[in-house]
Every structure is written in C-alpha cells, then in structure tokens.
Amino acid sequence: MINGILAAEELLASRVAYTFRTYPKQITAAIAAVLLSAGTLAVASLGPDASDLPVQQVLEATAPLSFAEQSQSLENFSFTLFRTDITRSSDTAEALLKRLGISDPAATAFVRGSSEARNALFARAGRTITAEATQENQLKKLSARWIPDGDGGFKRFVIERTPTGFAAITERDTLTPGSRLASGSIRTSLFAATDDARIPDAVASQLADIFAGDVDVRSLRKGDRFAVVYETFEADGQALRSGRVLSAEFESGGKVHQAVWFQPQGQKGSYYRPNGDSLRKAYLSSPVEFSRVSSGFAMRMHPILNSWRQHNGIDFAAPTGTAVRSVGDGTVDFAGTQNGYGNIVIIKHRNNQQTAYAHLSRVDVKAGESISQGQTIGAVGSTGWATGPHLHFEFRVNGEYQDPASIAQEGGAPITAALRPAFERIAVGARTELAAAFSVIQASAD
C-alpha cells in the first residue's frame, strides 16, 4: 500500500488477483463477472490498445465453448478469412501463400512477378504478413508492415484484388506510440516465459536489469511470475517495436517486487519502488546484457577460470561479439591494447573508482569520451591472453583491485516531497494495471 493512498480500482483489482490465486476453479463464473468489471476499471487508466487485452481474455474465460469451436462457428458466418503468418528466410511466393491458406495461382504469379512485392515480403525474415481471403481461398488483400533502417516511421505494403487484376502499393506512415500490458509465469526460463507471452527480448532484458538487485533472473523457479507494461510503437495496431518498460512486478520465491518508471519534467527518469525508493544503482550488476545469446552462458556466470583473488577480476563467459556495456556513468580513461588484456577499455567513475573490460574483439569508444550506464563500449572476444571468448572484468578503487561484489553501491535518491503527488498518481495507476495483468494470466490458466 502506498502511504495509505489506495484507489478503489486498485483495491478491487488486487483483491480479484488474490482471490483467483487462492480459489482458482470453484468460483470461476462469479469471479469472471467481477473480473469483467475489474478489467473495465483498468481500461480507464490504460491506453486503448493495452486495454483490449483484459477484456478479450475475460470473454474467453466466461464462454463455455472451446476456442477452436468458437473460431469454427465464427468462420461459418464470415465471408472473409483473415490469416497472419511470419516470413521465413527460405520463403517463396508459393510457400508463403500456402501457409496463409491462399490457393490462388493468379495471386502467386503476381507476387512472383513483382519486384516490389518480393522486396516487401522476402527481403527480411520475420515480417508479419496479414491476408484476407474469400471462402474459396482466393486472395482479396495482403499486407505487410516494417520499420526501414534509419527511419522514424514505417512502411506499409498492400496487394489488393481489383476488377482488373491485382494492384500493389508501398506507402510510408508514422508509428503510433502505445503501451502493452503482459504477464507470464516461469516454467523453465525467463525467455521461455516471455516468448509464451509474446514479449520482445528487449523487454525481457530490461526486466532483468530493473530487478537485478532483487531477483536473479538466471535462476528463477517454476511458478515465479511477472507482469509488465511497456511502450510500443505501432503500425495500424501492430506493434513493430518496443520501447521502455513503464512498470513491472516480479514475484520470485514468494516475494513481490514492483518497479515504476518516473520521469519528472526536465529531469532524468528512473525506476522506483512503489514507496518512492529509487531502484537505480551506481553500477549495473553485469557488464553483459541478459540476452538470449548470453543467458545460456551466463547461467555459469560465476568465475570460470579463477576466483577474482587469483587474477584480480571476474570472467563472464559469452560468445564472441556479445555486447559489453559500461556498468556505470563515467569517462573513458583508456581504450586500446595492453599486453595480456588484449583490447581493453578502462572507465573512470566517481570516487576514484574504475572498471576495466578486457579481451574485447571490438572497441566502440575513445579515450576521454563520456559514457552513461548501460552504454555499449565494445564486444566480447579473446584478444590477449585468453583461452577462449570471455569478458575479463575488473573493479579498481584508488588503483587497487577490488572484488566487484564488495563494492558498496550508492543508490539513486528517493522521490522528493515536492514530486510525491505526481509520483503517487503514476504508481497507483501502474499497480492497477499490473494487478489486472495477473488476473488475466490466472484466468487463462484456468
């Protein structure tokens, strides 16, 4: 509870989540009715796109028909079939249209014969393609949206059936900012859970950083769960890019941790606990981002060669090319080659503290450059005296080697009294959304 301030919506939403957790099966119908109202209340504080989620899920929970039966009965009454699929690197016109359920030789020939269509559909794997078909599986309309390199907007490609044959058009449009609310529970790993919830990797990595002091995302337990609200950038309602995490909750080992992004006007933003304490630390817990590529290796993140006492640092095993980031704000003291270290970057922080990153395959910064926490400074490699690709990381205070784990972390300042009312409004809204997200996973799990 936030200093005794608690909105009615929040109370209701959190009670619903709690009830669901405790009595999952017995009271489904009753809860579904309450949930519907909780979902509606949450809608008021959410963006239009995120608000669709709880309501939609509630309808599933209340309907006795299975999802397959529902969609079957829907199809019986509709004349246009909507299908989506993702492009693959091996795709051809035939293969893609077949996956979309299109059986239309004229459409296939059109795609094959149009360089515009081939470029839009097959230039890059992973694009979402939407098709509309007649009941005879003839193509009515097909569209793709993507973000071109170095551009703030998006491109929309559409093929449409006209009385005189197919016509294609490529347009440029602007992305619409929105937000998405999602939740998941751990069965094996964080990435498995975020995949299930269709949460982008960039958001999973942010979650790992935000809760680094509270939760070790590399050793989660089955049943641990999370909810998150994050920024999206959308094209015609389809999220093409994710942005910053706006609020999140992580329940791990029975303990609940919450974070809210708060940025007062003209100031640097930061994550805070609901009570107003800052979650920002002077140093990140890892110089290697928690990513799909590093997570498997990082499971064995403890020193692989020696303890820090024997060689003055900690080694992080990760594949060559994995991004290395500065753990704190500072300036580059040295960027170049030093004997056994190979390519090394040394960063000077406050209070005569330095961090060093060695054996790099690539150096992205220059001496004297100002660096902010989390900024990429190079990539993992095996230059110098390294038996294999890894990052050798050192912490020095007044030039002396220190165990990174022993460095006293100064945190960010808590919310000031002047900013408290603005923060409370955001924190209460965030908690309502997160509670609604948890109700939804519980409902769909039942």
Which residue is closest to Zn ion by CB? 392
Whether residue 390 contacts residue 382, with contact meaning beta carbons closer than 8 Å, is answered with: yes
What is the signed CA dihedral for 6, 47, 153, 151, rounded to 10 degrees?
Answer: 20
Strand partners, 328: none
Nearer to Zn ion, 280 or 359 (CB): 359
For the CB of residue 305, give the shortest distance to Zn ion in the complex, in Å: 6
For the CB of residue 340, give the shortest distance to Zn ion in the complex, in Å: 10
For the CB of residue 240, give the shortest distance to Zn ion in the complex, in Å: 40
Nearer to Zn ion, 257 or 392 (CB): 392
Nearer to Zn ion, 184 or 389 (CB): 389
For the CB of residue 420, give the shortest distance to Zn ion in the complex, in Å: 45
Q: Indicate whether 313 belongs to the interface with Zn ion (CB under 5 A).
A: yes
CA-to-CA dists, residue 385 to 337, 344, 389, angstroms = 12, 12, 11
Q: Indicate whether 394 belongs to the interface with Zn ion (CB under 5 A).
A: no
Question: Strands, DSSP E only, in 253-389?
Answer: 255-262, 270-272, 314-317, 323-325, 330-338, 342-348, 353-360, 362-363, 370-371, 376-379
Nearer to Zn ion, 242 or 383 (CB): 383
For the CB of residue 179, give the shortest distance to Zn ion in the complex, in Å: 42
DSSP 58: H
Nearer to Zn ion, 10 or 394 (CB): 394
Nearer to Zn ion, 14 or 294 (CB): 294
CA angle 5-257-221, nearest 5°?
A: 150
Nearer to Zn ion, 80 or 387 (CB): 387
Q: Indicate whether 315 belongs to the interface with Zn ion (CB under 5 A).
A: yes
For Zn ion, the binding residues in 135-174 under the rule CB under 5 A are none
Whether residue 202 contacts residue 210, with contact meaning beta carbons closer than 8 Å, is answered with: no
Identify which range of 154-162, 204-212, 223-231, 315-323 contacts Zn ion by CB under 5 A: 315-323
What does the alpha-carbon distance between residue 11 and residue 438 come to, in Å, rounded to a whole number? 14
For the CB of residue 121, give the shortest distance to Zn ion in the complex, in Å: 47
For the CB of residue 394, give the shortest distance to Zn ion in the complex, in Å: 8
Q: Indicate whether 392 belongs to the interface with Zn ion (CB under 5 A).
A: yes
Nearer to Zn ion, 121 or 324 (CB): 324
What does the alpha-carbon distance between residue 304 and residue 314 come to, in Å, rounded to a whole number? 8
96 backbone dihedrals φ, ψ, rounded to 5° = -65, -50
Number of residues binding to Zn ion, judged by CB under 5 A: 3
Identify which range of 5-13, 201-209, 259-267, 391-399 contacts Zn ion by CB under 5 A: 391-399
Identify which range of 145-153, 181-189, 294-302, 388-396 contacts Zn ion by CB under 5 A: 388-396
What does the alpha-carbon distance between residue 249 and residue 229 come to, in Å, rounded to a whole number? 9
Contacts of 150 (CB under 8 A, 6+ apart): none
Sign of CA dihedral 276, 281, 282, 287: negative
Identify which range of 12-20, 217-225, 243-251, 390-398 contacts Zn ion by CB under 5 A: 390-398
Nearer to Zn ion, 82 or 385 (CB): 385
Residue 177: in which H helix or E strand, if any? strand 176-185
What does the alpha-carbon distance between residue 229 and residue 46 come to, in Å, rounded to a whole number? 10
Q: Indicate whether 287 belongs to the interface with Zn ion (CB under 5 A).
A: no
Enumerate binding residues for Zn ion (CB under 5 A).
313, 315, 392
